[in-house]
Each structure stands twice: as structure tokens, then as C-alpha cells.
Amino acid sequence: MSTPLSARLNDTAPRYTSYPTAPHFHPGIGPEAVERWIGTIGAEEPLSIYIHVPFCDRLCWFCACNTKQTLRYEPVKAYLGSLHREIATVSRLLAGRGRIAALHFGGGSPTMLRPADLIGLDAALRRAFGFRADAEISVEIDPNDMDEGRLDALAAIGLTRASLGIQDFDPKVQKAINREQGFELTASVVEGLRKRGVRSANFDLLYGLPFQTRHSIAATVRQALTLSPDRIALFGYAHVPWFKKHQQMIDETALPDAGERLAQARLAWEIIRDQGLEPIGLDHFARPGDSLAVAAREGRLRRNFQGYTDDQCETMIGLGPSSVSRYREGYAQNLTATGTYSRAVNAGGLAIARGVELTDEDRARGWVIEKLMCEFGFSSSEAADRFGEAAQGIIAEARSLAAARPDDLMELHGDRFVVREADRPLVRLIAAQFDSYLATGKGRHSAAV
């Protein structure tokens, strides 16, 4: 007997931006292991670099990122000194191997950096690492930080893709999440970026926020679309006050219930789709000619800690506190506290706190979960060809799942397991069926819809 969708709306699940997920990282992975992993990187291997800036000049109450508020620039300046040292250490370990194909600045608010410091950081990265001529440079932007000098600095570092946090334009919602940001401000930043030749503008929107309604989210989406974004990420607000204490500032009685969250998501989805953006995975949209849409059509869509991406690099090196790196051998995460991170890298070493080394089964399960998250299905024959014996048990699990509940969530079409279109909002719950770690962990997760 299948369980109706309405009965699953309050279920929780990981977001599956990695497998195994971060709650299953452990301290048995340290600097020595990561040094070995870096040593296996090929001479011309394409690499991604993620730079974490763990500061904001205001703390948005909805945020679940690793960041802290500061109104003084001195802590930011001191942190940059440590970041430069970590860059130098990783460069030494790479010894000229690898070529940067993608560089992403996240946070926190990377646009807090003063123009000269952003340009200096970019120069240090280019001295330390070889860059491909077509490297994509992306930056997460808080429009409230922006001025002419910062816009010029972003152009100077070769920004190709800007990701602007919007969340919601409704003043009542903005006040409830401590994120006041007018439409006119956002429009002026988009115009300033395009005048400087930045070819792609991406918007982050949220549903499920306090005081948000279908009417208000529809108005926000329509306003955002007037700015012609190339991509939209439509995320469900993750209310995790046990993990991020500042979320306790949000009035839980003002949060929409699970049914309303789903209705908001579907309404926003329809409006965005009707304006010509193609749905990508669970919660992204892109113009048909955008590289993300092309990757999705060609079966090359990937998922990592930045969400859906067309980045094909197998190795992503995270720099800064809490940053996660992905190597062929496994995952490694830096120390979270800025102070302890700085002491480790200032001493000339890596700042690895924990991680996980992948088994053959982990790789097979990770591939299945990524395919479900990106394509809402996977081929059993492709899984077997890629992973051999390690895939056989997983394929058997999938067959059992489809046979036991033929009308529920996943169906078997030939050799392909497919999530029904109506059930795609619950794909995280389906992916969780293949997570062998989930039952053994103590991590708490956000709502699956």
C-alpha cells in the first residue's frame, strides 16, 4: 500500500550535496591523509577551488551557513592573512600540478571584502595555481554590500557568474528574517554587473519563510524575473534552530506548514517555468542556452556543496574554515572555528578537522544518489558497468523497492529506475533509501520539501 504524498511532507532527509553526508565525517581523516590525496592529483587535472569568507556585516536569521557578524574590518583582515597562508601551503603540496577550471567565493559574505583585498586575494591565487583560460569565476553577492568600487573589483578578477541572494522582496518577510533589501537595490547591482561584462546573473529565492504566502512568493518571483536572471535557485527554508541558534530569532508560529510550503514551491515553479526557464534537478532553473541547462539535457549535471552545477571537476579543494574538499579518495573538512583554523594554517600546515575515505560501495551509492538528485532516475546497467560487484546489492535494493511499492515514488522502466514526476519534490526521501549511513548517524535534518 503506497503512502500518499501528503503523509510524507513532514519527513526529513539530508540535502545530499555529498555522500556520505557531513554528519558521517570523522576525525580519523587528518592532514596526513589529505596530503597523500593531494599527491595523487594529475599534472593537468582540472580543479575547482572554493574560498570561504566566514563573515557578514549583518546576520540573516534564516541563514544556516558557517559565518559570524562583525562590524569591524580588522577580524576580516586578519583572516585574510591566514587564508593566504593556506593558499601557499596547498600550492606547495600541489607542486605545480592541476589547473583551476572553476573558482567560487562563498560565505558568509565574500562581498564584504574591500576591493583591494579581493583583487589581492585573486592575485595570490593566480600566483599559487595554474588557471585554465576558460576558468569560471563565481561570487556570492549580498547586494547590500555593493558599491562602485566592489563592482569594479569583481570585474577586475574576471567574474563570469554572479549569484545574488534575494530570498524574498516582501518587506514583512524581510523584517522577519533580518534581511531588508529593496528591489531597486537589487536591480541596480544587476545592472552594474552587466555593464561590466559579467555574463551570468543567478538569483537565490526561498520559500517556507515566516509570513510568506503564495501571494507574496508569486510577487517576489515575478519581480525577480523582470531582471532576466540566467539561473534561479528556489530553496526551501531549512529551519534548524538546534544547529543554528540565531534561527531561534524566527517566530516559528509564522512559518508555513508543510502543505503550504509545497504549494508555495509548486506555484513558484510554475511561474518560473512559464517564463521560459528550464527546471533543473530538484530546485534550480536555467535559461535553455545556459551551461547548466545544457549539462542537464546531456546527462552531465552534477551536485556538490554549492548545489547543482555543470562543474565536471572530480577534485574540489575548499579553503577557509569549515570548507569541505572532495578528492577521489574521500572528503575532508577544515576546522570550523576561525581562530583554530587560523592557528593551524599559520603554523604552516593544513587545517583538516575530519573527513571520510570512500569505499567502492560508497562510490556506487554516491553515484546512485547523485543521479536521483540530478536526473530523478538511474540505469541499473550503467551502475553495473561503472561499479561492478559494488553495485549489485544496490541494484537489488532498488528492484525490491520498486517491486514492493509499485505505485509509490519509484518505478522500473526497462533497466531504469525512475521517480514519478508527481513525486519529484520528495526525491531526497527516495535518495535516503540508498543511504547506508543514515540509520547509524545522530544528525538531524531539515524538512524534505
- Indicate whether 336 belongs to any domain: no
- Indicate whether 71 belongs to any domain: yes
- Indicate whether 344 belongs to any domain: no
Domain boundary among 305, 325, 345: 325
Say yes or no: 411 and 305 in one domain: no
CB 288 within 8 A of CB 278: yes
- Structural domain boundaries, residue 364: 1-23+359-449
CATH of the domain at 277: 3.80.30.20
Give the amino acid at 326: R
CB 327 within 8 A of CB 38: yes
- Indicate whether 353 belongs to any domain: no
The 3-state DSSP class for residue 330 equals strand
Say yes or no: 47 and 7 in one domain: no
Phi-psi region of 414 (alpha: psi -120 to 50; beta: other; left: phi over 0): left
Q: Report the alpha-carbon distance of residue 214 to residue 207 in Å, rounded.
A: 9
- Other Cβ atoms less than 10 A from the Cβ of 121: the count is 20
CB 288 within 8 A of CB 318: no
β-strands 130-141, 55-56 pairing:
unpaired
The C-alpha R_g of the chain, in whole angstroms, comes to 21
Say yes or no: 300 and 390 in one domain: no
Say yes or no: 8 and 57 in one domain: no
- Indicate whether 114 belongs to any domain: yes
Q: Tens-of-pLDDT digits for all 449 residues of the chain?
A: 345 545 666 677 899 999 999 999 999 999 999 999 999 999 999 999 999 999 999 888 888 788 888 989 999 999 999 999 999 999 999 999 999 999 999 999 999 999 999 999 999 999 999 999 999 999 999 999 999 999 999 999 999 999 999 999 999 999 999 999 999 999 999 999 999 999 899 999 999 999 999 999 999 999 999 999 999 999 998 888 887 788 888 999 999 998 999 999 999 999 999 999 999 999 999 999 999 999 999 999 999 988 899 999 999 999 999 999 999 999 999 999 999 999 999 999 999 999 999 999 999 999 999 999 999 999 999 999 999 999 999 999 999 888 876 556 789 999 999 998 888 888 999 999 999 999 886 555 555 56
Say yes or no: 7 and 50 in one domain: no
**CA 53 from centroid of its chain's CA atoms:** 15
Say yes or no: 85 and 180 in one domain: yes
pTM, whole model, 2 decimals?
0.92
The 3-state DSSP class for residue 187 equals helix
Say yes or no: 369 and 312 in one domain: no
- Indicate whether 43 belongs to any domain: yes
Question: How many distinct structural domains can be found in the chain?
Answer: 2
Say yes or no: 305 and 377 in one domain: no
Q: C-alpha cell of 34?
A: 589529505
Say yes or no: 128 and 155 in one domain: yes
Output 337-341 pairs: Cβ under 8 A, ≥24 positions apart.
338/54, 338/68, 338/75, 338/79, 341/82
- Indicate whether 50 belongs to any domain: yes
CATH of the domain at 381: 1.10.10.920
CB 245 within 8 A of CB 61: no
